[in-house]
Chain A
Amino acid sequence: MTLEELRKLRGQMKTEVEKRNTEGKTIQIIVGMGTCGIASGAKETLNAFLKEIEEKGLADHVMLRQTGCMGLCANEPTVEVIVPDMPKVIYGNVNAKVAKEIIEKHIIGKQLLDKLIIDRPAADIMSK
């Protein structure tokens, strides 16, 4: 594939994700990619999300972001999921299988995966 071909493919996408003006309306999946996350397999988690998003036809509706350590190293890989009109949650121990479940149940089914939610860490070790 050349850069020109890539540009064409991009052009075929819906002018898509007018995300800048729909701030707060976009689904966001944020994967912790600090040393701890990477060591626990966060890259496979990230790849699994991308694959699942593509397979379910959600590519235009989801932002997939990376962040550093979220301060929950014991539960890596950790993933924050933000769906409009649902509580923001952080899931722990998100391997490829759980990533698939998050897409199916949380993103599509609008149901929280209760057992995998972890509390936010103490404020003093949060990155922001």
Chain B
Amino acid sequence: MHYNLCDMIADITQNAVEAGSTHITLECIQTQDALKVTVQDNGKGMSPETLKKAEDPFYTDGKKHPNRKVGLGIPFLIQTAEETDGFWNIQTAPGRGTTVTMNFNLANIDTPPLGDFTGLFREILTLPGSFDMDIHRKNTTVNLDYRINRNELKDVLGGDFESAASQILLQKYIESQENP
């Protein structure tokens, strides 16, 4: 499984970007002993058969790497959720996008650590592509609740997410939201 939950979220969100989505919504709601994450995209979606196969680590669509025999993103999620008393669900249909729901039990000793949300958000906002993304982050234990929109930030940063200078500013901005 991934080393921390933020890495898990990065992996699943990257799938949404690679599915050709124009809009992605990521919600991360944290309470005392749970982290509820939803990644909703309007990308190409999957048929029930493809979804079934995607749950199998020894399946990949063969497009990115024609001779590759494994695809571990979704299997990692299933493994993590099942081994740590969590929950996962994927709603999808061809042409209708995909919604991945992940609930992690933070009270379970085997649940990976949370990881770093600031870095996670910077990382997924700066993934290549022209998609828009809405992020909603909430942590009820410290009364934290903020939203970030990719297009808005991109506009503020002069349309540039690729220069290190922009990413340093982006990091500082997200940090100021995460730790006000």
Contacts and interface: CB of A to CB of B under 8 A. Distances in A.
Interface in A91-128: 124-125, 127
A103 B160 CA distance: 22
A59 B163 CA distance: 7
Contacts of A39: 2-3, 7, 72, 76
Contact of B128 (A10, A17, A38, A67): A67
B173 interface: yes
Interface residues of A, number: 39
Contact of A16 (B67, B153, B163): B163
Contacts of B144: none
A10 B3 contact: no
Contacts of A67: 128
A6 B176 CA distance: 11
B125 to A, nearest CB: 11
Nearest to B172: A1
Nearest to B126: A66
Given A3-B156, A43-B10, A125-B65, A64 B176 contact: no
Interface in B155-176: 156-158, 160, 162-169, 171-173, 176
Interface in B104-119: 116, 119
Pick the most buried of A34, A35, A50, A65: most chain B CB atoms within 10 A of its CB.
A35
Q: Is the interface of B mostly helix, strand, loop or mixed?
A: helix
Contacts of B64: 68-69, 127
Contacts of B34: none
Contacts of A6: 153, 156-157, 169, 173
Interface in A23-73: 33-36, 38-39, 41, 43, 46-47, 49-50, 53-54, 58-60, 62-69, 71
Contact of A43 (B72, B123, B165, B171): B123
Given A60-B163, A62-B163, 11 more contacts: A3-B153, A6-B157, A6-B173, A10-B158, A19-B163, A41-B3, A43-B120, A46-B119, A50-B164, A58-B164, A59-B163
Interface of A: 1, 3, 6-7, 9-10, 13, 16-17, 19, 33-36, 38-39, 41, 43, 46-47, 49-50, 53-54, 58-60, 62-69, 71, 124-125, 127
14 contacts: A3-B173, A6-B169, A13-B165, A13-B169, A35-B71, A35-B73, A38-B10, A43-B10, A60-B165, A62-B164, A64-B164, A124-B66, A125-B65, A127-B65
